[in-house]
Every structure is written in structure tokens, then in C-alpha cells.
Chains A and B, each alone.
Chain A
Amino acid sequence: MIKTDLLIIGAGPTGLFTVFEAGLLKLKCHLIDALPQPGGQCSELYPKKPIYDIPGFPEILAGDLTKNLLEQGKQFEPGFTLGERAETIEKQDDGTFIVTTNKGTQHQAPIVAIAGGLGSFEPRKPLIDNITQYEENGVEYFIKNPEHYRGKKVVIAGGGDSALDWSIFLTDIASQVTLVHRRNEFRGALDSVEKVRELTQIGKINLITPAEVTDILGTHKVEAVVLAKGEEKQVIETDHFIPLFGLSPKLGPIANWGLEIEKNAIKVDNALDYQTNIPGIFAIGDVNTYPGKLKLILCGFHEATLMCQAAYKILNPNKKYVLKYTTVSGINGFDGTRKQAPKPVVQAIN
């Protein structure tokens, strides 16, 4: 069981900045994120895109903002559970919460801050009626272990980097690789597109475009897929069908946590501290809603700051907290480091 003061669900910019603000108040944080790396949308969707509305940064790449936020919170030694989705929450008799992920990792904390953005990133599933019955039986939306495909026939669908890269990679492992895309054009790194072209020419990749997988055949597991190429239909025997259509965010299991939801977001008390209808559970950043809400990173930072003050008061009901300025008091890291402004020298020159 992982124990912490403040459990943050979502390691996007808002969640990462919470680590810093909580740290100033000597609260330790642990973050859970469904993605394998921190940064949320900033690192998953647009790491190379510039953001222009972060106060103090006329221009910063989303990937660099993530790096900076990690650096800023580093001395407060946050813990991470990455690549796992927060699934259930249970309130304990002692007032703490236990949050369990889809992989069974348990986390205990007196305060939970949901900074889940638009939700956890789930693979986009193609619109094939019977696809769910083949999941885990030949249909996979992620490639976790390439060895799983050794000597097998695979059909990959998609037109982005992951479809290209995995098609290339699996040519050395699988017995047959078919790549299907709806258009003739691929969007991916130039190198990958070239490589796929090369492998197609020497017959290592069976490239079929423009085409779409419309049906899956097989009694218990995938045995073949049906491809539509215009009016023409074609059946391809295969052991695996791997649709790689990117990820889209879904609020997911959080929607069933008994929180008040409005327009796919969690309602909070914005006049006070961004607490939800369940005391001890806060929602900050894009995941929350209140009158006048704006889904901006800078608003998430503000919400995180006020939320940490409220969390501190809940955990230390008898202490009077005085707002500190980092310029005056510096930063004391949990790792023993200390940052502070240099003291002015008082000395006579003559």
C-alpha cells in the first residue's frame, strides 16, 4: 500500500504543479496516471507545440513545460504510479481514502485531488460491431510485448506513427505483417514512411490502402478480418488484429465515484477551495466545472494552489497557516535541499 498526504489523480500540468504547492506546505504527494509518462495532454498530444499563455513564458513548448514542472517539484520527491488507471475509491473509517488502479495498486491518503484533465487516455476503438468479443482474443489496442506475436500473422490498422513503427518492428518477429490504412497517405516521421515503403517493396509488409477493416471473423478468437477496399471485399487470415488509431480521453471510472458530474466534468465549490460534493476529494484543472470555468493550464495552477491551502487546513485543523512567499522563506526540499534568495551583503566599502 502506497501512503501519502495528498493523492493526485492525473500527472498533467495541474497535477505536477500541485506537487510544488503542496510541498511548500510540507505535504507529500503521489500521482497516478494512465499514461506511461507524466505531462498529460502536453506530453501525449502536443509535446512539440508552443503554448503562449503561461504567465512569464512568452512561448514554451508543451514538452518543455512538463520538464520544467517536474524540475520545479523534484525536491518534494513525488511518487508516481504510471501506466495505471485509477479505478475505485473507498472511504475508510479513519477518514482516509483508498484508491485502487486497474492493475490492483493501492494508494492511501487523507486527501485526494483529481486533476484528471478530460479523463484517462483510452485507445480509440474502430467501429466494428463485434470487436469487444475479440478483445484479449486476438484484438489488441496496445502492443505490450512484441514477443507475443512471434511467428503469428498480424493485421495492423492505422495511419500514424505507432501503426508505421510497429509494422516495421514486427516484420522481424511476426510471420506476416499486413498494414491497412484508410488513405494512401500516412502521417508519420518521414523515415518510418520510407522504411514501410521499402519493406513493402521487398514483400515483408503487405500494405493495403485505401482500405478499412469492417469485420472480424472467428469462433472464439480472431481467425480473419474482412477488408473493404471501395466496393471490393477481401478476407485476410490473421491471428491478431491491432487497431492503432491513437488515444482519446474518457472520464472513465471517476464518473462512478459518486461525485456530482455536470457536462462531463466534476462540479466543485469554486468560491472556496475546489472541493467536490465529497469532503476530502478535490477536483482541479480541466476536470472540474463551475460557473465561468475556463479550461486553461494557468487556471489549473491557481486552483491547485488554493486547493493545497484547503488540504493543509483539513490535515492540520489546529494550526494557523500563514501564507509564505518563496522569495522570503525559500524552499526546503524533502530531499534535504534548500533554495533561497542570496542575502544582501552589509559591509563598508572603505
Chain B
Amino acid sequence: MEDVTIHIKDREGTLHTVEAPTDMAMNLMEVCKAYELPVEGTCGGMAMCASCQCYVLSETELPEIQEEEEAMLSEAFYVKNNSRLGCQIPVTKELHGLKIELAPEY
């Protein structure tokens, strides 16, 4: 299984280019934590806290937003049209080249 490359802009504007495995059942929130980027992941990936909110900057095709994520984003802050919860995006080969920006901490 191959790794994919993901570009993550942190809250200071620094761009981190990281490699993520596609065979470890990881999601974007966990990738950020693995690289010690400042993502809290408070609820453990259950779309219940929005601490892993990010803005999708690339045109990468992502899995559709499910009901739980939609509901959480409707209560979160700093939400934009391109907001997603990292914990709801599994790392697959389709993510190669994805560019995201971490939403402000709340």
C-alpha cells in the first residue's frame, strides 16, 4: 500500500507537507496529531467537538459530508463553505495532493 502526500497549513500559516499511510485506517485528524500539528481531536474522532475543523484548499475529491459532520459544523465556529472535520475524512489514495488549512482554535 502506498503513502499519500498531504499539505497542511497550520494556524501560523506554515505549510507542512506530510506523508500518510492509506492502510492504517487513519483519518486526517489522526494524521495531524501524528505529525504533532496543533489539532486536539477532543472527542476522539466522533464528529462531536469540531476541534479538527479544517478548510479544504485543493480541488481534491473527498467523501461526502454525512449527517453527523453536517450537524457538528452547523454548531461550530469559524465555519466556511469549504469547512470539513478532519476526523471524518479517511486517508485513502484519493487524498494524494490534498491541501488543507487548520481552522482557528476555539
Contacts and interface: CB of A to CB of B under 8 A. Distances in A.
Interface of A: 41, 45-46, 49, 118, 124, 126-127, 158-160, 181-183, 185, 187, 245-246, 248-249, 264
A248 B77 CA distance: 12
Contacts of A181: 74
Given A45-B48, A159-B71, A264-B40, 11 more contacts: A41-B43, A46-B46, A46-B48, A118-B40, A124-B106, A159-B74, A160-B75, A181-B74, A187-B74, A248-B49, A248-B51
Given A45-B48, A124-B106, A118 B74 contact: no
A283 B43 CA distance: 20
Contacts, number: 42
A129 B43 CA distance: 27
B42 interface: yes
B44 to A, nearest CB: 8
Contacts of B77: 124, 126-127
Given A126-B77, A127-B77, A248-B49, A185 B42 contact: no
Nearest to B68: A187
Given A46-B43, A118-B40, A249-B42, A183 B74 contact: yes
Contacts of A41: 42-43
Interface string B42-67: 11001011010000000000000001
B94 interface: no
Contacts of A160: 71, 75
B23 interface: no
Interface residues of B, number: 15
5 contacts: A126-B77, A185-B74, A187-B74, A246-B75, A248-B42
A182 B48 contact: no
Contacts of A49: 46
> What are the nearest 10 A-B pairs in CB distance?
A187-B71, A183-B74, A45-B48, A159-B74, A127-B77, A245-B75, A45-B43, A182-B74, A118-B42, A159-B75
Interface string B17-51: 00000000000000000000000101100101101
B26 to A, nearest CB: 15
B39 to A, nearest CB: 11
Interface string B65-90: 00100110011011000000000000
A183 B40 CA distance: 26
Nearest to A157: B75
Contacts of B74: 159, 181-183, 185, 187
A45 B75 contact: no
A248 B105 CA distance: 12
A45 B49 contact: yes
A20 B78 CA distance: 43
A127 B77 CA distance: 7
A262 to B, nearest CB: 12
Contacts of B42: 41, 118, 248-249
Contacts of B71: 159-160, 185, 187
Contacts of B40: 118, 264
A181 B78 CA distance: 15
Given A159-B74, A185-B70, A185-B71, A45 B46 contact: yes
Contacts of B46: 45-46, 49
Contacts of B78: 127
A230 B78 CA distance: 16
Nearest to B42: A118
Nearest to B38: A263
B24 to A, nearest CB: 15
A45 B77 CA distance: 18
Contacts of A245: 75
Contacts of A159: 71, 74-75
Contacts of B49: 45, 248
A256 B106 CA distance: 20
A288 to B, nearest CB: 15
Contacts of B75: 124, 158-160, 182, 245-246
